[in-house]
Every structure is written in structure tokens, then in C-alpha cells.
Amino acid sequence: MVPETVAFLDSGVGGLPYLAHARRLLPGRRLVYVADRENFPYGEKDRTSIVSFALSLAERLINREHPALVVVACNTMSVVALDHLRARFPVPFVGVVPAVKPAASLSRRKRVGVLATRQTVEGEYLRNLILRHAAGCEVVSLSSSALVEFVEKGLSRASPREREERVRGEVDRFLSEGIDALVLGCTHFLHLEPEFRLLLDTEGIALVDSREGVTRQAVRLLQESARQGGARHGSPDGPDALYVTGPLPLEERYQWFAGQFDLELRAGP
């Protein structure tokens, strides 16, 4: 039988740690990932452009791979375009949004930090999320387009020292705020999880992200559609793949990321 395909979307390589997490809980599924290199970075674009990038990307992906489920592994795309994606396509979508709720319940000092893109930090979605799930908490939200850029374009060649210095620069911005939980609200930052963890542990600050919740929701939706006897979706041509949009040639770093996550590199979709 053709294996079910589960797809992941991001503006770049940010959502790959979500794919890696899901892989452990979704055995037997074919996983495909799309990095929208052509329109990267989303965090600095306006909402109308982000919606149109997301719709066009999802359309090409769905036509090519017929996924059973799409994980929008990008906070910026999720907070801006998830409703539009759900309204346009009959495929179930799981969004990734900053894990403010678990961070707020974890925080003893009731002071939480969120590190995300400018679009996420300034948007209405995060404001509402904080009102709904972090009432009584002080939430300090900061953006870093520099760290997004570093992960996308510099990580594949960065030394351990450079990785640590980049992260230290971001962590320092929160230290005077007295937070005891930090939400990584941009998927790109998960590539630097060990560096964040190391620095935050010594400060007694918990690191929070949404991988667990997102994967559980994906599993739930797939089980639900199997129970309802939904059609199995997938394309027959095999390996887990990393699609990268935009003109050829692709920069070498994409081959590096494909290797790190055991994916076959493809141009498209």
C-alpha cells in the first residue's frame, strides 16, 4: 500500500526539528518538507504577502504530493495564514504557534519571554494568545531577524563557538527581565536548542517549545481520519524529501540540511 504522506511547510529550514520530532511518532509515514527559500524570510514581510506565499506554496505541495496532513512548521505562517489555508484546501492543517500557555503555567515568577520573528511579535495573534493563556503573567516578547538569518544561511558552516555566541547575544537581552521561562516562538531557533539549553539552565530559565503538542495533534488527526475510513494519501515515489523553492542552483547548505535530517534534496515543488 502507498504510505501516507505528511508534509511540513516553512519559510526555510526552520521547521526541520519538528519533522525530526514527528518522525519518531509517525513511523511508516512518508515525510516531505518544503522550504520556501524563494520568499524567505517571512518574518519581515507584510501579512498580505505572507498569506499569498503560504497559499501558493500549499497549492504546489498538495498538487505534487497529495499529503494526508500538513504541518505548518512556521510560527509566522501559522499566526498569519493558517485560517486562509484551512479555508482554501480540504486537507487537515496543524499550526505551530508560540508555546505561551505551557510557559505561563510553568513560570513561578510569572515572567515569561518569547523570542520570535517581528511579524509574530507585533501581530494580533500573539497578543490574543497572551490574553487568553497568560493572564497574570508578564510576557516580554522580542524579535530577532538576525538569528533567523544566521540559522538559515550561516548554521551549516558555523563553529560551535559561533553558535554559542549568537545564542548568548539573544539570551542576554532577556536576563535583565527576570524571566524564568523562555518560549522559542520561531522554528528556526530550535536548531540551536542545545546552545539555548546550556545557557538558560545556568540561569534557572526553562526553555519551552511546541514540538510535543504539535506532533500529538498531528497523530490525533491522522488517527481520526483513519477511523473515519479516510482515503490514504501519498505519492508513490519514495524517500522522505526536502523540497526547496526558487531558482537553481541551490546553495550547498541545503544539501547539508538534507543530510542532517536524512532527506532527499529536491527543487520545487
Tell me whether residue 137 is one of the annotated catalytic residues. Answer: no
Cβ neighbours of residue 172 closer than 8 Å, sequence gap 6 or more: none
How many Cα neighbours within 13 Å face the side chain of 103? 30
State the catalytic residue, choosing from 31, 74, 192, 258: 74
State the catalytic residue, choosing from 9, 137, 186, 250: 186
Which one among 7, 74, 126, 139 touches ligand DGL, defined by CB under 6 A?
A: 74
> How many chain residues are in contact with ligand DGL, going by CB under 6 A?
17
Q: Residue 125: helix, strand or coil by DSSP?
A: helix
Part of the chain binding ligand DGL (CB under 6 A), chosen from 11-19, 23-31, 54-62, 134-142? 11-19
Tell me whether residue 74 is one of the annotated catalytic residues. Answer: yes
Which one among 33, 37, 41, 192 touches ligand DGL, defined by CB under 6 A?
A: 41
Residues 152 and 144 sit within 8 Å (Cβ to Cβ): no
Give 12 or 269: the residue with its C-beta nearer to ligand DGL. 12
Give 17 or 67: the residue with its C-beta nearer to ligand DGL. 17
* Residue 109: count of CB within 10 angstroms of its CB: 13
Q: In 233-248, which positions are buried (b, 16+ CB within 10 angstroms) versus exposed (e)?
A: bbeeeeebbbbbbeee
Which run of H or of E encompasses 34?
strand 30-35
Q: How far apart are CA 141 and CA 48, in angstroms?
A: 23
Give 4 or 141: the residue with its C-beta nearer to ligand DGL. 141
Contact call for residue 98 and ligand DGL (CB under 6 A): no
Q: How far is the CB of 261 from ligand DGL (least distance, A)?
A: 15
Contact call for residue 187 and ligand DGL (CB under 6 A): yes
Which one among 10, 170, 195, 240 touches ligand DGL, defined by CB under 6 A?
A: 10
Contact call for residue 4 and ligand DGL (CB under 6 A): no
* Residue 1: count of CB within 10 angstroms of its CB: 6
Which run of H or of E encompasses 140?
strand 138-143
Exposed/middle/buried for 134, CB within 10 Å: 0-12, 13-18, 19+?
buried
Give 6 or 116: the residue with its C-beta nearer to ligand DGL. 116
Q: Please, what sign has the CA dihedral across residues 67, 68, 74, 76?
A: positive
Contact call for residue 11 and ligand DGL (CB under 6 A): yes
Contact call for residue 144 and ligand DGL (CB under 6 A): no
Q: How far is the CB of 72 from ligand DGL (least distance, A)?
A: 9
State the catalytic residues. 74, 186
Point out which residues bind ligand DGL (CB under 6 A): 10-12, 14, 40-43, 74-76, 117, 120, 148, 186-188
